[in-house]
């Protein structure tokens, strides 16, 4: 700071013993204005100095190792702009969210801006067993106690109970022999753990009718990221009512809740009210009264916290973190109350790990009543999907039609294209005779069409002579043949990274999404034999191919030849002792052009006299 920037020294008298009689310092207005001006000049000088020393990254960085994204919003499959076409049919899979910017200087997102919905199925195992018993005609009345058991350390233990058994005092985790003594008329059946897990996974995919991101939450729960999807169902309260109603039709009782975090939603479904909706600004207050068991901790950790007098989340939050960090710093997540508390309050991210990513482009049709045939609704869905693809500059490579049955089952039909395509008529024809294979059951009430794989596709225009469209016509022919005959029936040769002729190309599905490698530059015959055919040499020469040989019982005399082209064995794939090859392009007296090679050379110590083979025929 220069001498001119120094602040003036103002007189400050020593206060007397009596503060009431202390005289006030006299400062003129000119001195105060001078001090403010000097302070402002000093701050300006410091800011300019800091800007010169540490320039902004945008000014100094001239390149990025991975490339900077454009200033264009990227639309996710579960999000759609407000002016998206066909808003009446675009559903939670494609039209319910806002764009996400990818610029480096975007402000940080609010961690409590998301809306996470938790579905707890407290009696999923016993209710699934009851559904199976109904189909077999062996269902028990509701007033008879029933329970499912699994093997334990000291015999079978109770795994799940119905309401009648709970009323009799039967509880989960107890031994079956003890519960039979307490309730003699208890009906016990062994649980199907693997079947329950598969049924819950099916229910997870079925729950994607409300949002595209769904995942399992333990052995009896689902977690959904319904951010931006609730308005499609009339709000969060109406969405929860619809979920509860549809699950009840399937025979499952459910506890539901919506909050900004996964941990809070999990706690509300176990310890909250019915269909509770928690706003972000009320999260801390609502969670403070929850027991520490709501933090998804192990029983031993909950017992330890209760012994310490920490019985609620509010009690845990009031304790200084440093004192708890000393005790739980090395504990795993289910045993660490601090990490669980941060997850509940949104201070620690807990993303939903779905089994597969939802399609980026998707549309859906919600039906007022279940139907048996989804074909009449498919043309409109193709029109809307292609309109969205064209607006984003993409084309579909893989399409999937998902039909949601009213009994909780989900069926899929997949088709593929050889090139990116967004022609609705062409895509519609690929589903001919495929939707008839779906078992309608009791009917469909939701149909979804999504592009599971999409690629960039720009606008193209044919030339005046109407040429240049051969590739597109061939791709459409491949699409139709593959849709009718199957991917394995329509194949084409695909180049591989190998210089050995029989390994240089393989037959691959023509509909494959792999990038086709270029063929080798050296001339190769149009027809290559799967197994080279040995020839009998009649007259050999020291250099070059034999002058005369017999192949397929015909004596052939070489008129002209070209070569050799030496191909060495691949040491990382071939067996030791494999001999190199010298290939020649030869033409006989009948103008037949053959691809002839000699296996090995004299003196290579890898065999006897070199042998000759015909490996292919030129056109």
CATH code of the domain containing 439: 3.30.1490.100
Query: Has residue 223 been placed in a domain?
Result: yes
Report the 10 Å Cβ neighbour count for 468. 11
Query: Has residue 598 been placed in a domain?
Result: yes
Query: Has residue 373 been placed in a domain?
Result: yes
Q: Backbone phi, then psi, for 200, in 5-degree steps?
A: -70, -35
Token pair listed for 556: 């052939």
Query: Has residue 393 been placed in a domain?
Result: yes
Which CATH number goes with the domain that contains 276? 3.30.70.270
Identify the three-state secondary structure at position 132: helix
pLDDT of residue 224: 94
Of 212, 259, 205, nearest in space to 236 by CA: 259
Query: Has residue 29 been placed in a domain?
Result: no
In which band, very low, low, confident or very high, does the pLDDT at 539 lie, cut at 50, 70 and 90? confident
Token pair listed for 77: 């499959």
Would the pLDDT of 154 be above 50?
yes
Q: Are residues 325 and 406 in the same domain?
A: no
Burial per residue of 502-537, b for 16 or more beta-carbon CB atoms within 10 angstroms, e otherwise: eebbeebbbbeeeeeeeeeeeebbeebeeebeebeb
Question: CA 139: distance to chain centroid?
Answer: 40
Q: Are residues 205 and 341 in the same domain?
A: yes
Helices (H), 362-429: 378-392, 424-429
Q: Are residues 559 and 593 in the same domain?
A: yes
Q: Are residues 240 and 316 in the same domain?
A: yes
Q: Which residue has the tokens 């602040």?
A: 7
Rg (CA), the chain: 37
Q: Which residue has better confidence, 265 or 499?
A: 265
Q: Are residues 341 and 368 in the same domain?
A: no
Question: Could you tell me the CA-to-CA distances from 131 to 90, 199, 220, 315 in Å, in that order?
Answer: 33, 12, 16, 43
DSSP class per residue in 153-222:
TTEEEEEEE-HHHHHTT--TTSBHHHHHHH-TT-EEEE--HHHHHHHHHHHHHHGGGT-S-EEE-TTSEE
Give me the half-sphere count of Cα atoms (radius 13 Å) on the Cβ side of residue 252. 24
Query: Environment class of residue 425 by beta-carbon count within 10 Å: exposed (0-12), middle (13-18) or buried (19+)?
Result: exposed
Q: Which helix (H) or strand (E) holds 450?
A: strand 444-456
Identify the three-state secondary structure at position 311: coil
Q: Are residues 240 and 369 in the same domain?
A: no
What is the mean predicted confidence (pLDDT) over 399-423? 89
CA–CA separation, 263 vs 118, rounded Å?
Answer: 9
pLDDT of residue 312: 94
Token pair listed for 304: 């330890």
Of 218, 205, 175, 499, nearest in space to 334 by CA: 218
The number of folded domains in the chain is 3
* For residue 564, cis peptide bond before it (omega within 30 degrees of 0): yes
What is the mean predicted confidence (pLDDT) over 143-153? 92
Would the pLDDT of 577 be above 90?
no
Please give the residue range of the domain that contains residue 536: 527-617
DSSP class per residue in 529-574:
EEEEEE-EEEE--SSSS-SEEEETTEEEEEEEEEEEEEE---TTTS
Q: Are residues 307 and 278 in the same domain?
A: yes
pLDDT of residue 486: 82
Q: Label residue 605 left, alpha or beta by phi (over 0 means left) and psi (-120 to 50 means alpha).
A: left
Among 295, 314, 345, the domain-final residue is 345
Q: Which residues contact 107 (CB under 8 A, 6 or more apart)?
A: none
CB 544 within 8 Å of CB 558: no
Would the pLDDT of 249 be above 60?
yes
Q: Are residues 213 and 300 in the same domain?
A: yes
Question: Could you tell me the CA-to-CA distances from 605 to 545, 600, 610, 611 in Å, in that order?
Answer: 21, 9, 11, 14
DSSP class per residue in 379-396:
HHHHHHHHHHHHHHTEEE
Would the pLDDT of 85 be above 60?
no
Q: Backbone phi, then psi, for 31, in 5-degree steps?
A: -65, -40
> How do residues 294-350 score in pLDDT, each as one tens digit?
999 999 999 999 999 999 999 999 999 888 888 888 899 999 999 999 999 999 999
Eight-state DSSP code of residue 230: G
pLDDT of residue 69: 36
Torsion of CA 135, 140, 141, 142, to 10 degrees: -90
Q: Which helix (H) or strand (E) holds 101?
A: none
CA–CA separation, 88 vs 105, rounded Å?
Answer: 35
Mean pLDDT of the chain: 81
Query: Has residue 409 been placed in a domain?
Result: yes
pLDDT of residue 514: 59
Q: Are residues 250 and 385 in the same domain?
A: no
Token pair listed for 224: 């959904």
Of 280, 336, 345, nearest in space to 314 by CA: 345
Would the pLDDT of 146 be above 80?
yes
Question: CA 219: distance to chain centroid?
Answer: 21
> How do residues 25-70 score in pLDDT, each as one tens digit?
555 666 667 777 777 777 777 666 655 554 444 333 333 333 333 3
Q: Which residues pair with 125 in a beta bridge?
A: none
> Whole-prediction pTM value?
0.65
Of 338, 309, 343, 306, nearest in space to 325 by CA: 338
Would the pLDDT of 476 be above 60?
yes
Q: Are residues 556 and 587 in the same domain?
A: yes
Q: Are residues 386 and 334 in the same domain?
A: no
What is the percentage of the chain residues whose pLDDT exceeds 90?
43
Q: Are residues 328 and 203 in the same domain?
A: yes
- Tell me which of 12-16, 192-196, 311-315, 542-546 is least confident: 12-16
Token pair listed for 503: 């390994």
Query: Has residue 28 been placed in a domain?
Result: no
């Amino acid at each position: 700071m220069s001498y001119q920037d120094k602040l003036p020294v103002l007189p400050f008298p020593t206060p007397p013993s009596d503060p009431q009689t202390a005289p006030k310092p006299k400062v003129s207005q000119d001195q105060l204005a001078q001090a403010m001006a000097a302070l402002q000049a000093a701050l300006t000088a410091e800011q300019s100095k800091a800007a010169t020393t540490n320039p902004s990254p945008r000014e100094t960085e001239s390149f990025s190792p991975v490339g900077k994204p454009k200033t264009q919003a990227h639309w996710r499959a579960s999000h759609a702009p407000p002016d998206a076409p066909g808003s009446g049919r675009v559903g939670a899979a494609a039209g319910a969210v806002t764009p996400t910017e990818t610029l480096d200087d975007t402000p940080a997102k609010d961690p409590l801006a998301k809306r996470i919905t938790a579905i707890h199925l407290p009696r999923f195992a016993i209710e699934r067993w009851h559904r199976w018993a109904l189909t077999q005609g062996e269902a028990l009345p509701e007033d008879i106690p029933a329970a499912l058991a699994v093997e334990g350390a000291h015999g079978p233990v109770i795994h799940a109970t119905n309401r009648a058994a709970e009323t009799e005092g039967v509880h989960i985790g107890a031994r079956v022999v003890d519960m039979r003594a307490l309730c003699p008329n208890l009906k016990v059946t062994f649980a199907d753990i693997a079947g329950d897990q598969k049924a819950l996974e099916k229910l997870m995919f079925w729950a994607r009718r409300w949002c595209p991101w769904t995942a399992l939450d333990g052995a009896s729960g689902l977690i959904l990221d319904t951010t931006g999807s609730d308005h499609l169902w009339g709000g969060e309260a109406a969405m929860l009512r619809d979920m509860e109603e549809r699950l009840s039709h399937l025979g499952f009782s459910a506890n539901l809740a919506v909050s900004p975090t996964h941990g809070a939603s999990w706690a509300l479904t176990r310890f909250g009210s019915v269909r509770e909706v928690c706003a972000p600004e009320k999260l801390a207050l609502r969670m403070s009264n929850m027991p520490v068991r709501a933090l998804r901790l192990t029983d031993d950790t909950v017992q330890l916290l209760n012994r310490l007098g920490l019985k609620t989340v509010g009690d845990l939050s009031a304790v200084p973190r440093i004192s708890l960090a000393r005790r739980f710093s090395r504990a795993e997540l289910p045993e660490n109350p601090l990490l669980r508390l941060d997850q509940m309050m949104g201070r620690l991210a807990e993303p939903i790990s779905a089994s597969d990513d939802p399609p980026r482009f998707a549309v859906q049709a919600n039906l007022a009543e279940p139907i048996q045939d989804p074909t009449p609704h498919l043309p409109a869905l193709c029109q809307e999907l292609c309109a969205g693809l064209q607006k984003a500059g993409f084309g579909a490579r893989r399409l999937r039609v998902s039909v949601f049955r009213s009994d909780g089952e989900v069926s899929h039909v997949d088709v593929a294209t050889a090139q990116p395509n967004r022609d609705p008529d062409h895509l519609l024809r690929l589903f001919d005779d495929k939707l008839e294979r779906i078992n309608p059951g009791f009917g469909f009430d939701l149909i979804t069409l999504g592009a599971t794989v999409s690629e960039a596709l720009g606008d193209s225009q044919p030339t005046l002579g109407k040429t240049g469209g051969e590739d597109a016509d061939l791709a459409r022919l491949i699409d139709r043949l593959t849709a009718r005959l199957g991917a394995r029936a329509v194949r084409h040769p695909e180049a591989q990274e190998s210089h050995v002729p029989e390994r240089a190309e393989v037959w691959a599905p023509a509909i494959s999404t792999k990038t086709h490698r270029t063929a080798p530059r050296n001339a190769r015959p149009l027809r290559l034999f799967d197994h080279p055919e040995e020839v009998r040499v009649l007259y050999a020469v020291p250099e070059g191919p034999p002058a005369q040989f017999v192949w397929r019982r015909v004596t052939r005399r070489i008129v002209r030849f070209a070569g050799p082209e030496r191909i060495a064995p691949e040491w990382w794939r071939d067996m030791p002792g494999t001999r190199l090859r010298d290939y020649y392009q030869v033409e006989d007296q009948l103008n037949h052009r053959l691809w002839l090679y000699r296996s090995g050379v004299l003196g290579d110590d890898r065999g006897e006299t070199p042998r000759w083979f015909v490996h292919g025929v030129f056109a």
